[in-house]
Amino acid sequence: MYSSLIEPPVKAKPSVDTDVLYSIHPELLTDAHIYVHCHVPPTSQEILIRIWRTTFVIDRASGEKAALVHAENITYAPVWTLVPQSFNYHFLLIFSALPKSCTKFDLVEEIPQPGGFQIPDILRNKSDVYHVSVPF
């Protein structure tokens, strides 16, 4: 089922504990980051998900990209995370800062194969904390 390049999937965790994250990585508490809390809606069967390091938030006006600096509760490709059937799954993506002039951005997973996701037109807010639903 899995190629020799892919590790077996990990078991899903119910939520992201940001207090624990910040105690381990206090440098992430600065206001120079963008926090995207992602929700994967329940599905009728178990699914495998992962995030590529080539996932960005991109300023709609300037095209400037902010890089993914940390992912919590999801594995980086090529390792898979198993999400059980009918399970609400959440993970956190933390990106470097976008220009202060940015008012709208896209969340884009740029990958060298079909299946990368894109969430367009996210309105920027003062907290730089966002909640999105991700279509896996």
Which pLDDT tens digit goes with each residue over 23-58? 666 555 555 899 999 999 999 999 999 999 999 999
Number of H helices, E strands in the chain: 1, 9
Share of residues in the chain with pLDDT > 70 (%) = 77
Q: Domains of the chain: which residue ranges?
A: 18-133
**Identity of the residue numbered 111:** I
CA 32 to chain centre: 17
6 pLDDT more than 90: no
The answer to whether the bond into 120 is cis (omega within 30° of 0) is: no
Region 102-108: what's the mean pLDDT? 98
**Are the CB atoms for 55 and 107 separated by under 8 Å?**
yes
Secondary structure E strands in 20-128? 33-40, 47-49, 55-59, 65-72, 81-83, 89-96, 104-109, 118-123
Please indicate whether residue 18 or residue 101 has the higher confidence score (pLDDT). 101
Residue 11 pLDDT: 46
Region 2-13: what's the mean pLDDT? 42
Residue 64 pLDDT: 97
* Three-class secondary structure of residue 23 per DSSP: helix
